[in-house]
Each structure stands twice: as C-alpha cells, then as structure tokens.
Chains A and B, each alone.
Chain A
Amino acid sequence: MNPTIPENDKDRTPEKPAPKLPGSIMMPEEITKTSTNTSEKAGEVIWSADRQGDIAYMDEQYGKLLKQQQEVQKMLNNGEVPEAAIDHEKIGKKLTQIQISQAEAQGKLAKNKLKAEHLEDLEAVSKYNQKRLQGYTDVVSDGSKSILTKLGEGTGSVISTVGKGAGEAGLFLGKSALKLAGKGLKIGAKAGRAVIGELVRLGYDIADIHKEYRKRNPKQID
C-alpha cells in the first residue's frame, strides 16, 4: 500500500532530498540555531518581521517529515525494516513554540487595541480564537477516533481518556469564563462574555473590565 499524502502536502515538499533513514528531523543544535525570530523579554513578546523565516523553516521541516514517513512506509511495504525510528518530536516541539509565541503576541495586540478603545477588534480576536479552538477540537476528535478504531475492541476506557484532549482544549477560552463566574459577574450578551473572557485571559483585572464594560454596555451587566 502506498502512503497517501494529501494533495496540498505536495506543495510543502522541500527541494532538497530528505536525509536517508535512519535520521532525525533536526538536531538539537539546529533548534537553537534557528529559533527564534520571536523573543520574550520580561513576559513581553517581541513580534518580528522575520517571523516569515520561522514559518518557512517549519514548512521545510514538515516536508522532510513527510518524506521520511513515505520512506518508512515504502521500506515496510518492501519487507524491509529501517535501522532506527524517526525522531518526530523535534518538529512538533518547534511548532508548539511558534504557536505559544503567537498566542502571546495576540494578547499584546489585544491590549493595544483596548488602549485604543477598539473593543470591536477584541471581539474579532475572540471570535477568531473560537474558530481556532473548533478546528483544534475537530483534529483531536478525528485523530482520537482513528487511533482507537485501530486498537479494536476493549478500548472504551482509552476512548474516554483520549477524548479529554478536546475538552481540555476548551479551557483555552473556558478558563476565563470560569473566572468571571467566580467573580459573580453576570453578562447578558454572548459576544460581550466572550470579549470579557478574552480580557481576563490576558490578565486584566476583573474590576477594571467590569467598570469599562458597564460604561460601554450598561444594559448588559448587572
């Protein structure tokens, strides 16, 4: 059986041939060398124009991973066994690093917009985050199902635990709502709740948000 690579993955294939197996995706020193175009100082993320470099680098690494996957599957199909497993972890870690930086930069953006009194932009950020969350939940849910189907019968308990991943992803936005609930704040509008939740997540003081939001939406907050 030949490996099926999604059509859009082909665009990611790097020009350089993938290293022969056994081989790692990237060496630890490569991570150090290439990271990072975003940097943190005292909790603040510096958003760099060179960020495109990070993204291009990840495209290349992802392409290498696909090549190595194909190589392993080809060898297995031919009855051969690669000499060593691929080290998939490094590419995953690098992607996560970039994502975290992005989330923090997004927070910085939201703060700036609050100062500029552009609350509607914060709503857009919140809506975008919810869309991201939905996408992530779909990936987790479909992936868990695929894995568990292959494991066959008697995996009910694993289904319930693996499925937790999707639920935990909800905490990305949900924690802020819980904080609000803990403060006894009642908000009538769903959009308003999402915006305030976003602000709490970014570390704003609930009393300040309450005051500001009451000023803007007097009928929506008790």
Chain B
Amino acid sequence: MDKKTFLHSEIEHVLKVIDYISPEERSELLSRIQNFNAEELEKLLKTLYKVERRYLEFKLNDVKDTEKFLNTFK
C-alpha cells in the first residue's frame, strides 16, 4: 500500500469513529483532502488521532462516572 492510500484510508477510519461527524460531513471533509500531499495528510492523521483519543477517553470516563453516579442512589 502506498503512503497516500494508507493515510486516506486511516483518516477515513478515524473519522468514522468520531461519530459526531455525520456521513455527509465526513464525505465533504474527505473530498477536501483529496489533493493533500502525504505530509499534509500525515499531519492531519496525527491530529485526528489526538481527537479520537480525547473522544474515546470521554466516552470511557462517561461510562465510569455514570456508573459511580448511579451507585450513589443504591
């Protein structure tokens, strides 16, 4: 797999995880990066990884916090 193909594919996967971005928005974002070079795509991917981590971390913590919260009623 060449680098640009990999980066496009990886970016698309990450955008799907960040599900506050709708499929339509995702398509638009992907169309906007079609002409990005490998360096730009790599920078974007690294940013997306951070965004993904924060998003998933939020979800995980939300589950844990809510669990604790519910236990206060028991």
Contacts and interface: CB of A to CB of B under 8 A. Distances in A.
Interface of A: 1, 3-6, 8-9, 51, 55, 58-59, 62, 65-66, 69, 72-73, 76, 81-89, 91-92, 95-96, 98-99, 102, 105-106, 109, 113, 121, 128, 132, 135-136, 139-140, 142-144, 146-147, 149-151, 155, 157-158, 161-162, 164-166, 168-169
Interface string B47-59: 1111111111111
Contacts of A155: 32
Interface in B6-62: 6, 9-10, 12-14, 16-22, 24-25, 28-29, 32-33, 42-60, 62
B20 A166 contact: yes
A8 B61 CA distance: 11
B69 A128 contact: yes
Say whether chain A's binding surface is mostly helix, strand, loop, or mixed: helix
27 contacts: A4-B50, A6-B53, A9-B57, A73-B46, A76-B3, A76-B45, A81-B1, A81-B3, A87-B13, A92-B56, A96-B59, A98-B63, A99-B63, A105-B70, A135-B58, A136-B58, A136-B62, A143-B18, A143-B20, A143-B55, A146-B50, A147-B29, A150-B43, A151-B44, A165-B22, A166-B20, A169-B20
A143 B70 contact: no
Contact of B56 (A87, A95, A113, A162): A95
Main SS at interface, chain B: helix
A102 B64 CA distance: 10
A92 B16 contact: yes
Contacts of B50: 4, 146
A95 B33 contact: no
Given A89-B17, A106-B66, A121-B73, 17 more contacts: A5-B53, A55-B64, A65-B52, A65-B56, A73-B46, A73-B49, A76-B42, A81-B6, A87-B13, A92-B56, A95-B60, A128-B69, A142-B54, A143-B55, A146-B47, A147-B51, A169-B20
A95 B58 CA distance: 10
A85 B10 contact: yes
Contacts of A98: 63
A88 B16 CA distance: 8
A147 B17 CA distance: 14
A149 B64 CA distance: 31
